[in-house]
Amino acid sequence: MTVAARLAPFLPSRLVAATARVLYTRFEPELARLDELCPAGCGTALDVGGWYGPWSRRLARTARQVVTVEPVPRLAGLLRSSAPANMRIVEAAASDVAGTARLWLPAGDGGERGVSSLVQRDIHGRGIDVRTVTLDSLGLSDVGFIKIDVDGNEQAVLRGARELLTRDRPALFIELEARIQPVAPVVDHLAELGYQGWVLPAKNWVPLRDFGLESHQAATAHVVQQGLLRRVLPLSGPRYVNSVLFLPDGRRPAGAAQA
């Protein structure tokens, strides 16, 4: 566990949340280019796996409505307590069936590390029962953007959103890590639906098929152990790319390299 994760339970939750939101554009620079992913007036935006809300709060500035799906009760409550008027919090885990499931967290973690999942890994030491929902069941319309960070449960989330994806063709921003689950099944599933992947290793978007995400992650795996604070410091070493933008029907992100 990193120093930041050890300290978080002893600090005011709102302070931790505010700090995470401020630092997150350094950790995930795609967030700083949100206007390319979810332009002003993009309709409904979904944040699946809200954590402390770095994506949700920024999305609320541009989207007409933001729906944040967060299964950890403490985090969902924190998000709800400070949500802007156009932000709705769904306290549940997104999956491919509605019901109840076991959400796994590290021992002693109340959600601070952002690694809870319906898929149990060796880092998980305890489980809690949570409600599950499908994205298709939320009754949403005009969905323009979906961010998904669910630590290994991506396929189930996408299966539970098939009607939405077919109808609205939103942009998808999905965290994919080969150390957790193979990347190919998600990429292949979305390719069948007409989506192409893009990554942002530097200043310009490049096609996922030209990048070699799994080999990149293997070469930079040591970065993951550094924790959020060390990863946002200047000159801290290489960046670990772990998120992919998927766009449908031949769409391209601004400044993209030729596919």
Residue 258 lies in a domain: no
Q: Give residue 5's pLDDT.
A: 47
Residue 70 lies in a domain: yes
Q: What are the Cα distances from residue 73, in Å, to 6, 111, 178, 225?
A: 19, 9, 28, 26
Residues in the chain: 259
| Nearest alpha-carbon partner for 73 in 91, 85, 59 | 91
Amino acid at 259: A
Mean pLDDT of 87-113: 94
Number of domains in the chain: 1
- pLDDT confidence band for 9 (50 / 70 / 90): low
For the ranges 8-22, 55-69, 110-124, the lowest mean pLDDT is seen at 8-22
Residue 64 lies in a domain: yes
For the ranges 10-19, 36-45, 46-55, the lowest mean pLDDT is seen at 10-19
Residue 253 lies in a domain: no
Mean pLDDT of 142-149: 96
Query: Which class for 188: exposed (0-12), middle (13-18), buried (19 or more C-beta within 10 A)?
Result: exposed
CATH number of the domain at 206, please: 3.40.50.150
- Element (H or E) spanning 206, and its range? strand 206-207
Residue 259 lies in a domain: no
Q: What are the Cα distances from residue 165, in Å, to 16, 89, 143, 244, 246?
A: 34, 21, 9, 16, 11
- Beta-bridged to residue 68, according to DSSP, are 47, 89
Residue 123 lies in a domain: no
Contact, 86 vs 60, CB < 8 A? yes
For residue 83, give its domain range: 3-91+136-239
